[in-house]
C-alpha cells in the first residue's frame, strides 16, 4: 500500500494524501520520504498551481511513529537528516493548503504548520504532546508555532502537551478557517481551485515575499514587496489581467 498518494482532482490542483490509516497516519520515515518526493516533483510541475495536503476523514496525522523512535540513540536520530525531508515542504513555491480532519498532533501539527492555509474541521484538534514522552517538538513545533500564535499560547501548548480545539486554534491564529467536518476536503479544494485560477507568477511572488519578510525588518520586507511588485509588470499575465478588467471579461492566465 502506498503510504502517500497523489491525486489530480482538477486542472492545476494536486492533492497529497497520507495513507497510513492503521497507524493514524503516524509519520514514519516512509511517510516523510513520500511527502518529500511528491512535494519535490509537484514543485517542479508547471501544470500544478496549488497543492492540498490531507490525511483521512478522522485523522490528519497523529504524530511521529513512537515505535520507530523509542530505542534510538541521539546519533542515529541525527543521521536520519529528517529536517531535509521537511525542508522540501517548507521550500515548495506553490501555495499549500492543509485540509485537517481529526487529530493533528505532534508531527501532524508541525506538518500542518508547513502549509500556507489551514482548513480545519469542527472536530479537529491540534497538539504538541512531545513533552509527555520525554522529548520536545523537533520539526517546527517551538519555532513555527511561536511565530503563528505568539509566546504565551505557544508556551502553554508545548509545555503542557494539551490539545486545542479547532475553534481555539482559529482564535489563536493557528488555522485559516473552521468548517463542518464533512466540508473540509470540499472547502480546501474550492480554495485551491480559486488560487489556481489566479496568475501563477503573482501567486508565487506573493508567497515568496510574505514568507521571506516574516523574519526581516519592515524596511527590508517593504523593499522585497516593492521589487516583486515591479517585476510582475514584465509578465504577460499582468497585461492580461488589467486589460481583462478594463474590457469586463474573465482573464486567462498562463503563468507567463
Integer Cα distance of 175 and 164 in angstroms: 11
Using alpha carbons only, give the angle 75, 106, 126 rounded to the nearest 5 degrees. 165
In terms of DSSP bridges, do strands 117-121 and 177-179 run parallel, antiparallel, or are they unpaired? parallel
Q: Which segments within the chain are labelled E, that is strand?
A: 4-10, 13-18, 50-54, 59-61, 96-100, 103-105, 117-121, 125-127, 164-165, 177-179
Do 17 and 11 meet the contact criterion of CB atoms below 8 Å apart?
Answer: no
In terms of DSSP bridges, do strands 96-100 and 164-165 run parallel, antiparallel, or are they unpaired? unpaired
Residues classed as catalytic: 64, 107, 110, 130
| Residue matched to cell numbers 515575499 | 209
Ramachandran sector of residue 7 (left: φ over 0; alpha: ψ -120 to 50; beta: rest): beta
The helix/strand/coil state of 15 is strand
Give the C-alpha distances (Å, rounded to integers) separating 188 from 51, 124, 180, 237.
Answer: 10, 15, 12, 25
Amino acid at each position: 500500500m502506498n503510504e502517500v498518494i497523489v491525486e489530480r482532482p482538477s486542472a492545476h490542483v494536486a492533492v497529497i494524501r497520507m495513507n497510513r490509516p492503521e497507524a493514524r497516519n503516524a509519520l514514519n520515515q516512509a511517510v516523510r520520504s513520500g511527502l518529500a518526493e511528491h512535494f519535490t516533483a509537484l514543485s517542479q510541475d508547471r501544470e500544478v498551481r496549488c497543492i492540498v495536503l490531507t490525511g483521512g476523514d478522522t485523522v490528519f496525522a497523529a504524530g511521529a511513529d513512537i515505535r520507530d523512535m523509542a530505542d534510538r540513540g541521539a546519533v542515529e536520530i541525527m543521521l536520519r537528516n529528517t529536517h531535509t525531508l521537511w525542508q522540501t515542504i517548507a521550500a515548495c513555491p506553490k501555495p499549500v493548503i492543509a485540509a485537517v480532519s481529526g487529530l493533528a498532533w505532534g508531527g501532524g501539527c508541525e506538518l500542518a504548520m508547513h502549509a500556507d492555509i489551514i482548513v480545519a474541521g469542527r472536530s479537529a484538534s491540534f497538539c504538541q504532546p512531545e513533552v509527555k514522552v520525554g522529548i520536545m517538538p523537533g520539526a517546527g513545533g517551538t519555532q513555527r508555532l511561536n511565530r503563528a500564535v505568539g509566546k504565551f499560547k505557544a508556551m502553554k501548548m508545548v509545555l503542557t502537551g494539551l490539545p486545542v480545539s479547532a475553534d481555539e486554534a482559529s482564535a489563536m491564529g493557528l488555522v485559516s478557517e473552521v468548517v463542518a467536518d464533512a466540508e473540509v476536503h470540499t472547502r480546501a479544494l474550492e480554495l485551491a481551485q480559486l488560487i489556481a485560477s489566479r496568475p501563477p507568477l503573482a501567486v508565487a511572488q506573493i508567497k515568496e515575499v510574505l514568507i521571506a519578510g516574516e523574519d526581516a525588518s519592515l524596511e527590508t520586507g517593504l523593499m522585497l514587496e516593492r521589487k516583486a511588485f515591479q517585476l510582475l509588470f514584465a509578465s504577460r499575465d499582468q497585461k492580461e489581467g488589467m486589460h481583462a478588467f478594463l474590457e469586463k471579461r474573465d482573464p486567462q492566465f498562463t503563468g507567463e
